Amino acid sequence: VAVVGNVDAGKSTLLGVLTHDHGTLDWVKICEKSSKVITFIDLAGHERYLKTTVFGMTGHAPDFGMLMHLGLALALSVPVFVVVTKIDMCPPNVLQDNLKLLIRILKSSGCRKVPVMVKSKDDVIVSATNFVSQRLCPIFQVSNVTGDHLDLLTMFLNLLKTRMPSQDDKPAELNDTLMLGPDPLGRFQPITVKSIHRKRMPVPEIKRSQIRKGMVMVSPALNPQACWQFEGEILVLHHPTTISSRYQAMVHCGSIRQTASILEMSRDCLRTGDKALVRFRFIKHPEYLKRGQRMVHQLLFN
């Protein structure tokens, strides 16, 4: 679950309240006693750290997001639920005005969400059951100080189901041979699984130069190929100037984060609100891409 919002919105405080017992538990106890494990990604709210936030949204492929950054969530097709914090210190009239504004934004033509105010356990069950449709947007009002409605939020998180397809992911077993890459030359190297560790368990030494962000580990049966060029359908959410061929900016796609240049477009130029088919070329080295992956071009929406 990616937690994104404006500076001082209460993101880290909320996560601290939800996970306050973590200091007395280790991963062995958690895995033994838990029926479900939820990973929270606490992302930056300040604009100067936007590239870190984008990488957290694309690289970690979150199932859901508590988002104020609706533009990024909609671009990545991430289902959204909203947590309104600090209700203990907010005047009632200000709270109602903010809720009305939030509902109006969610219902706008750009979002097309169905906001649902969660006030009871029945609302939680209905929201969690229908949440994967991506149209429903539950809204929680909580206080990290008094604990109001935190039980409803916790219940909602417990009822959520993963939305990521698993048919493309097969478990890796000991002595399996996998392919790791691409390296700077676009090659994939065969590797053998000798041991498997997870969640703070010791791992064999590995040099930093051998693995970089964007590399993948796949089955040899996939015959992986690295590519320098790729085509993508681009929707310009916002850009202050005109975009044309030879334009360069950072591309985020999965764990990939690399500068790419526009080689050609289906239109002469692009402005805010335009959509086009664009061919890109990576600047530094080839990457492993799959058809249908979603991409965020950082400067196209910043």
The 216-218 sheet, strands edge to edge: 189-192, 177-181, 216-218
The whole-angstrom separation of Cα 268 and Cα 263 is 12
b/e burial code for range 49-67 (CB count within 10 A of at least 16 → b): ebeebbbbbbbeebbbbbb
- Tell me which residue has tokens 């973590």: 22
Which tops the pLDDT comparison, 133 or 22?
133
CA-CA distances (angstroms) from residue 51 to 27, 43, 61, 72, 256?
Answer: 30, 10, 15, 12, 12
- pLDDT band at residue 161 under the 50/70/90 scheme: confident
Residue owning tokens 């706008």:
108
What tens digit of pLDDT does each residue of 214-258 get? 788 888 888 888 999 999 998 887 777 888 888 888 888 888 888
Q: What are the start and end residues of each CATH 3.40.50.300 domain in the chain? A: 2-159
Q: What is the pLDDT of residues 78-100, one digit of tens each?
A: 788 888 988 999 899 999 998 99
Do 72 and 301 form a contact (C-beta atoms < 8 A)? Answer: yes
Does the structure show a pLDDT above 90 at 281?
yes
In the CATH scheme, what is the code of domain 2-159? Answer: 3.40.50.300
Give whichever of 44-53, 145-154, 213-222, 291-300 has the largest mean pLDDT: 145-154
Q: Where in the chain is the domain with CATH 2.40.30.10?
A: 181-302
Q: Which residues of 2-30 are buried (b: 16+ CB within 10 A; e: fewer)?
A: bbbbeeebbbeebbebbeeeeeeeeeeee
| Cβ pair 129, 160 in contact under 8 A | no
Burial class (CB in 10 A: 0-12, 13-18, 19+), 177: exposed
Is 93 strand, coil or helix? helix
CATH class belonging to 181-302: mainly beta
**What span, in angstroms and rounded, lies between the C-alpha atoms of 239 and 249?**
12
Tell me the pTM: 0.58
